[in-house]
Amino acid sequence: MDEVSTIAGKVQRVKDHWPGILAIILTLIAWHCYAIFLIRNRFLLPGPVDVFFAFIALLQKGVLLSDFRVSLIHFAIGLGGALLIGIPIGIVMGWNSRMDAFLNPIIEILRPIPPLAWIPFAIIWFGFTPVSAGFVIFMGAVFPILINTYTGFRGVSRIFVEAGRMLGCTRTRDQIRYIAFPAALPSVISGIRIATGVGWMCLVAAELFGVSNNGLGKDLWFFYDLHQMDSVVVYMILLGLIGLVIDMIFRYYIEGRFLKWRTGEVA
């Protein structure tokens, strides 16, 4: 019974996804034909076969893995810092309207500055270190987290706080921990998800502009200087795929684990 149902499930899954798979295959073929028969210039447009062999070569040299590791460190520093700073400030502003009035102007002035505009100061303050690239990512990631935490706390229904008070949850610290934070969590998590996307884009730019000596973005630039465009495409695809995986982790793992209670609440 089980066996049959899993096989049926697999067949169903293939059925659900085949248009998408077909589109990818068609795109690869079109790309291949365009590059081989029309452009006929591996510098201007490397074909999928060139890219595949470049990928194998890079993998054998071991650069891909070390680049991946370095970039992940940059990303972790930036996102970690953004969580550490963004969530507490968002909580304070969302919970206390006086703090909101106090901090809001500063936030509103800093927020529209493009994260990449911080690159010069990142270099001056932190030199060519992982912290430097992390700082640029931090500037991109901190505001979505802060703003969403703030909005989430603002939206906490009064009835929950009052119900909590009737049940002996009267200290501010407990009200934040046991009521406001879980109530605001969906908003906080969607803020983190936006932040990972923005942060990932900042990461590539930060490395590109020389804030780091290594990393996926940095080596993408390096191979451009060598005019090895097939390797550049390898890095492009890799960056896209990693971004996708990070987003998938959020969509399926984090939301499934922490926002289980929302299934059925939002249609």
Residues forming the site for other proteins (CB under 8 A): 159-160, 162-170, 174, 178-179, 182-183, 185, 260-265
Query: What span, in angstroms and rounded, lies between the C-alpha atoms of 147 and 57?
Result: 44
User: In terms of CB distance, is 82 or 192 closer to other proteins?
Assistant: 192
Please give, one letter per residue, the 3-state secondary structure of 199-240. HHHHHHHHHHCCCCCCCHHHHHHHHHHCCCHHHHHHHHHHHH
End-to-end Cα separation, the chain, in angstroms: 32
Shortest Cβ distance from residue 254 to other proteins (Å)? Answer: 14
User: In terms of CB distance, is 76 or 259 closer to other proteins?
Assistant: 259
- The stretches of 96-228 forming alpha helices (DSSP H) are 97-110, 119-126, 130-154, 158-166, 172-174, 181-208, 216-225
Query: What span, in angstroms and rounded, lies between the C-alpha atoms of 226 and 57?
Result: 15
Query: What span, in angstroms and rounded, lies between the C-alpha atoms of 231 and 222?
Result: 10
CB 212 within 8 A of CB 172: no
45 DSSP assignment? -
Shortest Cβ distance from residue 79 to other proteins (Å)? Answer: 24
Shortest Cβ distance from residue 266 to other proteins (Å)? Answer: 9
User: In terms of CB distance, is 252 or 261 closer to other proteins?
Assistant: 261
DSSP helix/strand/coil, 266: strand
Shortest Cβ distance from residue 179 to other proteins (Å)? Answer: 7
User: In terms of CB distance, is 89 or 179 closer to other proteins?
Assistant: 179
Question: And the tokens for 200?
Answer: 């990932």
Shortest Cβ distance from residue 195 to other proteins (Å)? Answer: 22
User: In terms of CB distance, is 43 or 253 closer to other proteins?
Assistant: 253
Shortest Cβ distance from residue 166 to other proteins (Å)? Answer: 4
Shortest Cβ distance from residue 88 to other proteins (Å)? Answer: 20
User: In terms of CB distance, is 16 or 265 closer to other proteins?
Assistant: 265
User: In terms of CB distance, is 142 or 188 closer to other proteins?
Assistant: 188
Query: What span, in angstroms and rounded, lies between the C-alpha atoms of 211 and 123?
Result: 6
Question: And the tokens for 249?
Answer: 């982790």
DSSP helix/strand/coil, 263: strand
Q: How many CA atoms lie within 13 A of 135 on its CB side?
A: 18
User: In terms of CB distance, is 143 or 181 closer to other proteins?
Assistant: 181
Shortest Cβ distance from residue 51 to other proteins (Å)? Answer: 46
